[in-house]
């Protein structure tokens, strides 16, 4: 069956190239060269047949996680009379200590079966890969993971009637007039005169614009219904768009009043299902518009390269349709921008800038474009911008209490903003979708796939891309939030800056707290007002390429306080570098998982808690599939458990090199904790498994080696599942 699948893929390569390396629309077309082996691995492991042919995901390796649990782990666990089903925290003890709201169903499911995290990762990545061609499915998936799921397209297309409406004569004019009616605002005479200028706009652009505006009208109704029980919406919007430093001060938890109370009540009363329903429809509409432009014949595409210009203001933001030139779009609230060609500069668009500006679309069909706050900031990398921490508002695929979508279909683009955005949402849905080109994403905080009480999404289908931020980005999930960054093809760089020190970490003042590259983060309040909230889910998925990952503290598959962070890399020779709580690490009732499938990879961590390390009722898991890998590890790493944590390390294949700079709680060991308290009977486990290959171990770890098993007890109680111990095996 595998050979059949492979030959079918190789016979039909062009659809993949359409998705990853070029678009049908655009004069700047490029082909990405992908080796047949790499293509095959990417397609089979990630379920790409869904994208190419509309088929169900392949079942190759679908029982993988179960095999890891039942087959590989049984012998090593048997050393301590443990079974795979014994590896979990006592649920009563967990709830006694955790005591937090908003823990997600997916989090609880994974907590019950830690050894099966690779199985859950497979389900997760299949869903995200499907969303590359159908981005609305990312909102559906995010909702399901958060316990707020809807299946809007299960029985029919919820936008069918709106699409038919947009095909009627004068549809765009009627859509704009409908916005005025919905806003209870009289239509100015100037606007009626401006509508006469629609005649110069190509019909296909008019139709797609009308469709997006009708969708925005419907989505806004979803938004208003979802927020109708939330008090003081204007104050909530202000809090969600504050600069980082101001937000930290106003949301501080040691005061019994203020912004923190507004946020707490808003989280409780928002109808997240309805809120995500509107965001789903906005992305579904953008997806259908994208497909409509891709299907145009050559003659029609050429007409879109001719100059045209139409601009009209509405109560919900400006509508601008243009093409045929290198345009500059000033910073304004926009309801819709469609720009059909040219190397353009955007200072605004695709972001919600007020409660009235609840929906914002930006569609750019081709050109090497620049997105930034102003001309000077476009020239200056974010780390060199002196006022970066003072940036407010949302930008470029950034949504607050609403929906924002940026779709760029071709070109080598620069996205640079210190405002929250680039596929980020607070109480809403924000998305940035880039189909092709070598792109630079330069952000600051809450950026590049970040969600808080909503879903943030960044999809890049092809190119050699660079992602840079300081904090809470590149796949970040806050409370009731899901953040996804999906990159399909290319040798990419993911950087969460360690310098300058804008966010010095409590663990080490020499490094920034990153919360990036697959990180879920909750609100710990047992030391303040007592209202703790579980984090959401953050995922970074890279399908193919030789990639570099670099961060400070908390990143590369990290979780904190009920959050879940996943970094999934399917193919390539990758480098992972971090400081502390990285590479499959978690602290305080959380889950962090790093899965790297194929390639000769390198891991380096400067301090502690890495490469499969769990602390305080948390699970840290590093799963390496295949390749000759190098691990340069600190203490509490390579399957390290600390203070009733579970750390799991698995390397399935390859000749690997293990280096440890501290001979403590690594290579399948634990730091025992809690003698004389309830914790003394809570499981603490460090689990190390190298399943094959001729490997190199440090001489200081004389208990470990090729073809060896080991068990090291920390606290040995009558029942092994209530003990604290380390287990290791090399086969």
How much is the mean pLDDT over the chain? 91
Residue boundaries of the structural domains of the chain: 2-53, 66-133+462-731, 157-229+270-457
Q: Which residues pair with 433 in a beta bridge?
A: 407, 459
Contact of 60 with 2, CB cutoff 8 Å: yes
Indicate the DSSP class of residue 720: G
**11 has pLDDT over 80:** no
Q: How confident is the model at residue 4 (pLDDT cuts 50, 70, 90)?
A: very low
pTM above threshold 0.85? yes
Q: pLDDT tens-digit profile of 398-444?
A: 999 999 999 999 999 999 999 999 999 999 999 999 999 999 999 99
Residue 663, burial from CB neighbour count under 10 angstroms (0-12, 13-18, 19+): middle
Residue 48 confidence (pLDDT) above 50: no
- What is the pLDDT, as a whole number, of residue 67? 53
- 226 and 404 Cβ atoms separated by less than 8 Å: no
**Using an 8 Å Cβ cutoff, are 350 and 457 in contact?**
no
* pLDDT-derived band at 251, boundaries 50, 70, 90: confident
Q: Give the bridge partners for 360, in sequence order.
A: 404
Asked if 668 contacts 727 with a C-beta cutoff of 8 angstroms, the reply is: yes
- Helix/strand number for the chain, H first, E second: 20, 42
Query: What is the predicted pLDDT for the residue at 184?
Result: 98
Average of pLDDT values for 239-250?
91
Cα–Cα distance between 166 and 177 in angstroms, integer?
13
Q: How many CA atoms lie within 13 A of 648 on its CB side?
A: 29
The residues, any chain, with a CB within 8 Å of residue 37's CB and separated by 6 or more, are: none
Please, which pLDDT band fits residue 663 given cuts at 50, 70 and 90? confident
Position 245 scores a pLDDT of: 84
What is the per-residue pLDDT for 258? 80
Residue-wise pLDDT for 56-91, tens only, equals: 333 333 444 445 667 889 999 999 999 999 999 999
Q: Lowest-pLDDT range, 4-8, 108-112, 280-284, 699-703?
A: 4-8
**296, pLDDT greater than 50:** yes
pLDDT at 549 over 70: yes
Percent of the chain with pLDDT over 90: 86
Count how many residues are written for the chain: 731
| For range 118-138, the mean pLDDT | 96
> To which residue do tokens 């397609």 refer?
43
Query: How confident is the model at residue 250, as a pLDDT?
Result: 87
- HSE on the CB side for 551, CA within 13 Å? 32
**Cis peptide leading into residue 500 (ω within 30°):** yes
Q: Are 357 and 183 in contact (CB under 8 A)?
A: no
Residue 141 to residues 146, 280, 403, 483, 713: CA-CA distances in angstroms?
9, 10, 17, 11, 41
Q: Rounded CA gap, 48 and 50, in Å? A: 5
**Residue 52 predicted with pLDDT over 50:** no
> Which range has the worst mean pLDDT, 21-30, 608-617, 650-659, 718-727?
21-30
What pLDDT was estimated at residue 486? 99
């Amino acid at each position: 069956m595998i050979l059949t699948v492979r030959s079918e893929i190789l016979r039909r390569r062009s659809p993949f190239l359409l998705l990853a390396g070029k678009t049908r629309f655009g004069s700047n077309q490029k082909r990405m060269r992908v080796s047949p082996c790499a293509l095959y691995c990417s397609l089979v492991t990630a379920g790409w047949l869904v994208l190419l042919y509309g088929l169900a995901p392949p079942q190759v390796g679908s029982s993988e996680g179960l095999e890891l649990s039942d087959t590989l782990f049984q012998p090593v666990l048997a050393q301590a009379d443990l079974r795979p089903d014994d590896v979990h925290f006592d649920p009563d003890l967990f709830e006694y200590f955790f005591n937090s709201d908003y823990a997600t169903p997916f989090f609880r499911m994974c907590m019950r079966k830690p050894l099966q995290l690779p199985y859950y990762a497979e389900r997760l990545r299949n869903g995200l890969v499907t969303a590359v061609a159908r981005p609305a499915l990312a909102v559906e998936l995010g909702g399901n993971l958060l316990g707020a799921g809807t299946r809007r397209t299960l029985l029919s297309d919820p936008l069918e009637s709106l699409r038919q409406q947009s095909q009627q004569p004068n549809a765009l004019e009627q859509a704009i007039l409908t916005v005025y009616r919905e806003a209870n605002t009289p239509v100015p005479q100037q606007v009626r005169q401006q509508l006469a200028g629609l005649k110069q706009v190509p019909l296909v652009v008019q139709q797609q614009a009308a469709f997006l505006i009708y969708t925005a009208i419907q989505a806004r109704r979803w938004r208003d219904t979802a927020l109708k029980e939330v008090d003081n919406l204007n104050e909530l919007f202000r809090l969600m768009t504050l600069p980082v430093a101001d937000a930290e001060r106003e949301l501080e938890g040691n005061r019994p009043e203020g912004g923190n109370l507004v946020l707490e009540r808003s989280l409780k009363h928002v109808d997240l299902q309805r809120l995500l329903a509107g965001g789903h429809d906005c992305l579904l509409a953008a997806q259908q518009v994208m497909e409509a432009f891709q299907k145009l014949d050559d003659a029609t595409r050429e007409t879109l390269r001719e100059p045209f210009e139409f601009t009209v203001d509405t109560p919900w933001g400006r509508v601008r349709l243009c093409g045929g030139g290198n345009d500059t779009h000033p910073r304004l609230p926009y309801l819709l921008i469609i720009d059909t060609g040219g190397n353009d500069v955007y200072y605004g668009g695709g972001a919600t800038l007020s409660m009235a500006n609840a929906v914002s679309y930006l569609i750019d069909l081709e050109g090497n474009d620049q997105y930034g706050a102003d001309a000077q900031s476009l020239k200056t990398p974010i780390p060199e911008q002196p006022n970066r921490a003072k940036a407010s508002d949302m930008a470029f695929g950034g949504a607050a209490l609403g929906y924002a979508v940026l779709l760029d279909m071709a070109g080598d683009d620069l996205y640079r903003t210190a405002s929250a955005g680039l596929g980020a949402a607070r109480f809403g849905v924000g998305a940035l979708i880039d189909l092709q080109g070598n792109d630079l994403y330069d952000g600051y905080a809450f950026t590049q796939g970040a969600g808080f009480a909503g879903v943030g999404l960044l999809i890049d289908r092809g190119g050699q891309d660079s992602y840079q931020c300081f904090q809470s980005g590149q796949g970040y999930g806050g409370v009731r939030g899901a953040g996804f960054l999906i990159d399909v093809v290319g040798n990419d760089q993911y950087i969460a800056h360690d310098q300058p020190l804008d966010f010095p970490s409590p663990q080490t003042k020499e490094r920034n707290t990153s919360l990036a590259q697959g990180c879920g983060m909750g609100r710990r309040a047992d030391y303040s007002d007592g209202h703790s909230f579980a984090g959401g889910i953050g995922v970074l998925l890279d399908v193919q390429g030789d990639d570099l990952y670099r961060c400070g503290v908390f990143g590369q598959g990290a979780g904190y306080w009920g959050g879940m962070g996943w970094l999934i890399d399917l193919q390539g020779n990758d480098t992972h570098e971090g400081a502390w709580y990285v590479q499959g690490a978690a602290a305080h009732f959380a889950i962090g998982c790093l899965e790297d499938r194929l390639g000769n990879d390198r891991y380096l961590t400067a301090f502690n808690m890495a490469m499969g390390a769990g602390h305080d009722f948390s699970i840290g898991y590093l799963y390496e599939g295949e390749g000759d890998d190098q691990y340069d590890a600190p203490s509490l790493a390579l399957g390290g458990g600390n203070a009733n944590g579970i750390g799991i390390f698995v390397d399935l294949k390859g000749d690997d090199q293990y280096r440890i700079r501290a001979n403590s709680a690594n290579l399948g060991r634990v730091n025992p904790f809690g003698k004389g308290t309830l914790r003394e009977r809570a499981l603490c486990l460090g689990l190390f498994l190298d399943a094959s290959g001729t490997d190199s171990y440090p001489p200081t770890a004389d208990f470990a080696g090729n073809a060896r098993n080991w068990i090291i007890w920390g606290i040995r109680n009558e029942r092994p599942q209530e003990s604290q111990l380390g287990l290791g095996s090399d086969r």
